[in-house]
């Protein structure tokens, strides 16, 4: 296992210490390393957004804590859910009097713990609402959307909900904005090679030298098919065919696009993919507004990429343009 590691069982804590030490201007961690909030939390009168999940997906989830996105995060071990206690601690640390939105990817462990934390928070008089992101089209059919996993498209939901919250909107409206984004975002990914989990030394999946996993999840969950390596054009067309159909996109629609690297895929290759995305949508007369290319949701060093598409209305377009300032994501 070639990794920058000391004791593998301390991997998450040591990494979090590094994050907090490097970014003490923007992030704060009071007692528990697994509870990290933006340095100016709680922001009085603003709806706070809490998120969380397993570690190993940077910038998901910790990297989304900051102005314009989320207010706080609870961090689990690699690929495993944080505790309800950590979620409650985040909730209390970020609550600025206007309620808290729990916004996270749709996984059983996270749901269970966030739901429990919500109950406990309500007992303490904090208003809590929840939106789960279910953007992974490969994980269930569209008529079972609530069973779909949350993957890279969560970025867009943070962006829209975060911008809405920064605008001073009340909890109900921030929740609605998040739901609207979650309803209109779709993602599908392709895995080239797995990652190794530090604590176990095990890889997340096995795959032949000339094969890809189509529709892979961010923990290496199997997708819809194994296929031989194709050209960039073929891979992008395959993903966009699924995404466009699922979103019911038609000529004249406006979308934003995220071409996301899952860990070890070079940025140079992601831009080859983006060129294909651009050509594909141009041909369909679908307009790309404000594309994003880079690592927005990773699985340690998994090689591969995903494409997320967000179908836009004017409100979402405005929210996409507002500033973001976290140690990992910056926009203005």
Contact 148, 107 (CB under 8 A): no
Among 69, 181, 238, 303, binds a second copy (CB under 8 A): 303
x/- string (CB under 8 A) for a second copy, residues 218-257? -----------x-xxx-x----------------------
Active-site choice (23, 95, 219, 242): 219
Q: Please answer whether residues 189 and 216 qualify as being in contact, where contact means their C-beta atoms are separated by less than 8 angstroms.
A: yes
Q: What residues between 6 and 25 interact with a second copy by CB under 8 A?
A: 6, 11-12, 14-19, 21-22
Please say which residue, 130 or 264, places its beta carbon nearer to a second copy.
Answer: 264
Contact 75, 24 (CB under 8 A): no
Q: Say which residues have a Cβ less than 8 Å from residue 165's Cβ, sequence separation at least 6.
A: 46, 47, 48, 49, 101, 174
Q: What tokens were used for 225?
A: 């098919």
Which one of residues 29, 58, 89, 98 is an interface residue with a second copy (CB under 8 A)? 58
Q: In the bound complex, what is the minimum distance in angstroms from residue 127's beta carbon to a second copy?
A: 33
Query: Looking only at residues 117 through 176 of this chain, which bind a second copy when binding is defined by CB under 8 A?
Result: none
CB 68, CB 91: distance < 8 Å: no
Going residue by residue from 184 to 223, which x/- string records binding to a second copy, judged by CB under 8 A? --------xx-x-------------x--x-----------
Answer yes or no whether residue 270 interacts with a second copy by CB under 8 A.
yes
- Closest by Cα among 73, 71, 84 to 111: 84
Q: How many CA atoms lie within 13 A of 102 on its CB side?
A: 31
Please give the sequence-ordered ranges of beta strands (E in DSSP) within 223-295, or none if there are none: 225-228, 254-261, 287-288, 292-294
Instruction: Rule CB under 8 A: choose which of 31, 123, 206, 268 binds a second copy.
Output: 268
Instruction: Return the half-sphere exposure (C-beta side, CA atoms, 13 A cut-off) of residue 42.
Output: 19
| Residue 271 phi, psi (nearest 5) | -75, -30
At its nearest, how many Å lie between a second copy and the CB of residue 8?
Answer: 10
Among 298, 310, 311, 312, binds a second copy (CB under 8 A): 298
Going by the DSSP 8-state scheme, the letter that residue 83 receives in this structure is P
Catalytic entry in 23, 57, 95, 242: 57
- Residue identified by tokens 């405005």 is 318
In whole angstroms, the minimum distance from the beta carbon of 26 to a second copy comes to 12
Active site residue 219: yes
Which range touches a second copy (CB under 8 A), out of 33-41, 54-62, 96-104, 128-136?
54-62
Q: How far is the CB of 85 from a second copy (least distance, A)?
A: 23
With the CA atoms of 129, 86, 160 and 269 taken in that order, what torsion angle do they form, in degrees rounded to the nearest 10?
-140
Shorter beta-carbon distance to a second copy: residue 108 or 332: 332
In angstroms, rounded to a whole number, what is the distance separating the alpha carbons of residues 176 and 198? Answer: 38
Q: What does the binding site for a second copy look like in residue numbers (CB under 8 A)?
A: 1-6, 11-12, 14-19, 21-22, 55-56, 58-59, 192-193, 195, 209, 212, 229, 231-233, 235, 263-275, 278, 291, 293, 295, 298, 300-301, 303, 305, 325, 328, 330-332
* Active-site annotation, residues: 57, 219
């Amino acid at each position: 296992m070639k990794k920058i590691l000391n004791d593998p069982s301390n991997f998450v804590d040591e990494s979090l210490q590094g994050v907090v030490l490097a970014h003490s201007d923007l992030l704060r961690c009071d007692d528990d390393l697994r509870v990290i909030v933006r340095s100016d939390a709680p922001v009085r009168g603003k709806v706070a957004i809490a998120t969380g999940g397993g570690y190993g997906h940077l910038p998901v989830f910790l990297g989304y804590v900051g102005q314009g996105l989320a207010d706080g995060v609870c961090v689990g071990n690699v690929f495993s859910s944080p505790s309800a206690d950590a979620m409650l601690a985040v909730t209390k640390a970020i609550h600025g009097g206007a309620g808290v939105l729990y916004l996270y990817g749709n996984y059983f462990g996270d749901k269970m713990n966030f739901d429990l934390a919500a109950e406990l928070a309500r007992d303490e008089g904090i208003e809590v609402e929840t939106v789960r992101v279910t953007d992974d089209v490969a994980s269930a059919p569209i008529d079972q959307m609530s069973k779909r996993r949350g993957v890279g498209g969560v970025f867009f939901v943070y962006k829209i909900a975060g911008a809405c919250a920064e605008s001073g909107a009340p909890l109900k409206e921030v929740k609605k904005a998040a739901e609207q984004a979650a309803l209109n975002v779709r993602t599908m990914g392709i895995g080239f090679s797995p990652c190794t989990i530090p604590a176990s030394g095990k890889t997340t999946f096995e795959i032949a030298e000339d094969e890809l996993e189509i529709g892979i999840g961010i923990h290496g969950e199997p997708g819809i098919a194994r296929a031989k390596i194709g050209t960039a054009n073929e891979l992008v067309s395959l993903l966009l065919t699924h995404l466009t159909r699922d979103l019911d996109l038609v000529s004249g629609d406006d979308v934003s696009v995220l071409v996301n690297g899952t860990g070890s895929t070079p940025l140079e290759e992601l831009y080859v993919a983006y060129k294909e995305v651009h050509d594909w949508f141009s041909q369909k007369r679908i307009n790309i507004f404000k594309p994003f290319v880079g690592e927005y949701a990773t699985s340690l060093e998994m090689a591969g990429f995903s494409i997320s598409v967000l179908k836009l209305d004017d409100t979402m377009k405005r929210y996409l343009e507002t500033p973001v300032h976290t140690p990992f994501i910056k926009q203005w």
